[in-house]
Amino acid sequence: MWTEVYMARGGETAKTIGQALTDAGILVKLNPVGKGAQSEGAPDSENDGGNCYKILVPHTEVKAAHMIIITSLQ
């Protein structure tokens, strides 16, 4: 089961956080949200349009993901 751990504003932020989680060995899904949102997958910074992205991880990885997100945003 996938759990949302962060809502990123813009594709670049979503990519940065997603990469930090992936580098730590955590599976990640990025789902665009909002008007004009495209299909699930990596954000396209050229066609982003300021969308928000849900960052989801497996339920068993939520605590670890939160710690990584906190350190990556500092």
Q: How confident is the model at residue 49 (pLDDT cuts 50, 70, 90)?
A: low
CATH C-level class of 2-72: alpha beta
Supply the Cα-derived Rg of the chain in whole angstroms.
12
3-state secondary structure of 60: helix
- Which pTM does this prediction carry? 0.81
* 1-35 pLDDT tens trace: 999 999 999 999 999 999 999 999 999 999 999 86
Q: Please report the pLDDT score of residue 9 as a whole number.
A: 92
Location of structure tokens 């089961």? 1
Tokens representing 24 are 């730590």
Residue 45: burial class (beta carbons within 10 Å; 0-12, 13-18, 19+): exposed
Rounded Cα distance, 57 and 26, in Å:
7
Rounded Cα distance, 35 and 32, in Å:
9
